[in-house]
Chain A
Amino acid sequence: MLRVELGKAIHRVRTWVFALGLAGLALIPVIFPPTDVGQGGPPFLDLITRNGLFAALVAVVIVQPFFLPLGTGLLSGEAIAGEASAGTLRYLIARPTGRRRLLLSKFAAVMTQVAAAIGWLLLVGLIAGSIRFGLGPLPTLSGTTIPTGAAFVRVIASGVYILLGMAGLASIGLLFSTITNSGPGATVATVAVAIASQIMDNLSALHAIHPYLLSHGWLAFADLFRSPVAWDGMERGVLLMAVYTAVFLALGLWVISRRDITS
């Protein structure tokens, strides 16, 4: 089933339009690097001219607050609801594709496609950045430097962490997708959750619930660029994501196991 999902994605024009759009986003900070250091903006943006590896990282970081949740919301929100509105869901269930197996395959397919998007952003950023700014040992946020090879590994690790951060959101999107027959509805609801979580994470009055917000751990990968690496933030982030994923995926499985397919 995962293979079918990926095959469907590959044969869709929109997949390649998205890939083109993401490549454009990755290139913007390389073509228009910041002129002042320390002017704010996304993490690592002001370091981009120092090393092409940062360009790869920045490419992913600039899509993380909005475009990545948007893509995750689109893929997960339409996963079941989109099949329902196309009518293909009834043929998949009658095939019979087990209901729970279908949802788990959809989850795997969403995560694979988000992983492909992140990998693509890293690749485009890395190539463009290394051409414009060159590669070399990476300065850390703590003032030390990491050798190029180890720095590359940390950039990849950042991508993996950012991917894991989307697992909770994908599970929420899949739950919405099992409840409604409207793909756009589920997508909008999922993106709204991501945005609401980030807004709440910035309201100091809500600081008591900050540690439990979906997006709270999303930026903890920055600790990979400290020396020594501070793991506790990322450990909490992964744990939080695991809980969100387990809870919402379980709810989604519960719903799809009982729902009447009337579309």
Chain B
Amino acid sequence: MLYGFLGPNGAGKTTTIRMLLGLIFPTGGEVRVLDQPVFGHEGSGSPALRKVGALIEEPAFWMYLSGRRNLEYFTRAAGPRSEQQARLARIDDVLHTVGLADAANKRVKAYSQGMRQRLGIALALLGEPELLVLDEPTNGLDPQGMREIRLLLRRLAGEGTTVFVSSHLLSEVEAMCDRVGVLAQGRLVADGPPDVLRKGADVIRLDIDDATLARGVLGTLAGVAIEPGDGLRVRLSPPATAASVNAALVAGGVAVSALVPEQAGLEDVFLSLVEGADAPR
């Protein structure tokens, strides 16, 4: 399963991720990851997090150490010895997976932003996590690198890892994810497969004879929002339907020659959800 976590800046994506990983404390409620509580283990760390790999905002390393040694030291920083041994044995594998095998012994100081991003993903993969939490994983990567990472994440999801990706690249989430959640103002305003979400907002294009008259009629209808741009496009939300809009226009004396549903992109859905959350209640 590949889950895409969307939201505008300031919606609370990073705050949510930080809570999932035990970094910031919730003011109320409980945080559970892989069916186990995250908090209440401030002494030696939550057992749930041992099965989680994470990239939190941007990668961070000890700059004066090599990429390989960074992975080694993060491994040795915690966990039972058997788990550490298993991770250490995988270092070469994950470095190879992210394409850093040749640069492994260079200091991270000398890495490009893209290489640091790859090393961050390598670190997240090191523990063969059941849950992979990645905040903007393709940040700083070139198109080729983005493609590689997307394919890698798809492959991991296919192999049974749950991948939780936050992103502001809607097209990326739309193309890659099995399920999408949209966060706005700290609330999850939508959650479901991308194609189901897409049907959540209907945009129709109207071919009419008198645009000014039509706009006047449409302005009085509940659930109808006129889209900016060329032509007359309206976004419908309950109680408005294509049929009711048609009836109202005809009753208002507008000749309707066509009423065409547009395939809304996820971006439109996203914007309509986020705008809805912003509106005063």
Q: Residues on A close to B: CB < 8 A?
A: 1, 3-4, 7-8, 11-13, 86-88, 90-101, 256-258, 260-262
Q: What residues of B have a CB within 8 angstroms of the CB of A99 in the complex? A: 42-43, 45
The 8 A CB mask of B56-77 against A (1 = contact, 0 = none) is 1111111111000100011011
> CA separation between A256 and B18, bound complex, in Å?
16
The smallest beta-carbon distance between A259 and chain B, in angstroms, is: 9
> CA separation between A97 and B41, bound complex, in Å?
10
Return the chain B residue nearest A257 by Cβ.
B42
Q: What residues of B have a CB within 8 angstroms of the CB of A93 in the complex? A: 21-23, 45
Chain A CB count within 10 A is highest, among B46, B56, B79, for: B56
Given A92-B77, A95-B78, A96-B46, residue A260 in contact with residue B41 (CB < 8 A): no
Closest 8 CB pairs of A and B: A87-B60, A96-B45, A98-B44, A260-B24, A96-B49, A94-B21, A97-B78, A261-B23
Q: What residues of A have a CB within 8 angstroms of the CB of B21 in the complex? A: 90, 93-94
Q: CB within 8 A of A261: which of B24, B45, B46?
A: B24
Do residues A98 and B45 form an inter-chain contact, with CB atoms below 8 A?
Answer: yes
> CA separation between A8 and B70, bound complex, in Å?
9
Q: CB within 8 A of B60: which of A1, A7, A90, A256?
A: A90
Do residues B73 and A4 form an inter-chain contact, with CB atoms below 8 A?
Answer: yes
> CA separation between A260 and B54, bound complex, in Å?
17
B52 at the interface (CB under 8 A from A): yes
The smallest beta-carbon distance between B148 and chain A, in angstroms, is: 22
> CA separation between A261 and B44, bound complex, in Å?
16
The smallest beta-carbon distance between B255 and chain A, in angstroms, is: 59
Do residues B65 and A8 form an inter-chain contact, with CB atoms below 8 A?
Answer: yes
Known: A11-B65, A86-B62, A101-B45. 18 other contacts (CB 8 A): A7-B73, A8-B62, A12-B64, A86-B60, A88-B60, A88-B61, A90-B56, A91-B60, A91-B123, A93-B23, A94-B21, A94-B22, A94-B54, A95-B74, A96-B49, A98-B41, A98-B45, A100-B42
Do residues A258 and B52 form an inter-chain contact, with CB atoms below 8 A?
Answer: no
> CA separation between A1 and B123, bound complex, in Å?
17
Do residues B61 and A96 form an inter-chain contact, with CB atoms below 8 A?
Answer: no
> CA separation between A4 and B76, bound complex, in Å?
7
What does DSSP make chain B's interface, helix, strand, loop or mixed?
loop
Q: What residues of B have a CB within 8 angstroms of the CB of A98 in the complex? A: 41-45, 78
Query: Which residues from 30 to 48 on chain B have a C-beta closer than 8 Å to any C-beta of chain A?
Result: 41-46
Q: Residues on B close to A: CB < 8 A?
A: 18, 21-25, 41-46, 49-50, 52, 54, 56-65, 69, 73-74, 76-79, 123
The smallest beta-carbon distance between B249 and chain A, in angstroms, is: 52
Return the chain B residue nearest A14 by Cβ.
B64
22 pairs, CB–CB < 8 Å, chain A vs chain B:
A8-B73, A11-B69, A86-B60, A86-B61, A86-B63, A87-B57, A87-B59, A88-B60, A90-B18, A90-B57, A93-B22, A94-B23, A94-B49, A95-B49, A95-B77, A95-B78, A96-B49, A98-B41, A98-B42, A99-B43, A101-B44, A260-B25
> CA separation between A116 and B56, bound complex, in Å?
35
The smallest beta-carbon distance between A258 and chain B, in angstroms, is: 7
> CA separation between A47 and B52, bound complex, in Å?
61
The smallest beta-carbon distance between A63 and chain B, in angstroms, is: 25
> CA separation between A98 and B63, bound complex, in Å?
23
Given A93-B23, A94-B23, A260-B23, residue A100 in contact with residue B78 (CB < 8 A): no
Q: What residues of A have a CB within 8 angstroms of the CB of B22 in the complex? A: 93-94, 96
Do residues B45 and A97 form an inter-chain contact, with CB atoms below 8 A?
Answer: yes
Do residues B56 and A94 form an inter-chain contact, with CB atoms below 8 A?
Answer: yes
> CA separation between A219 and B162, bound complex, in Å?
60
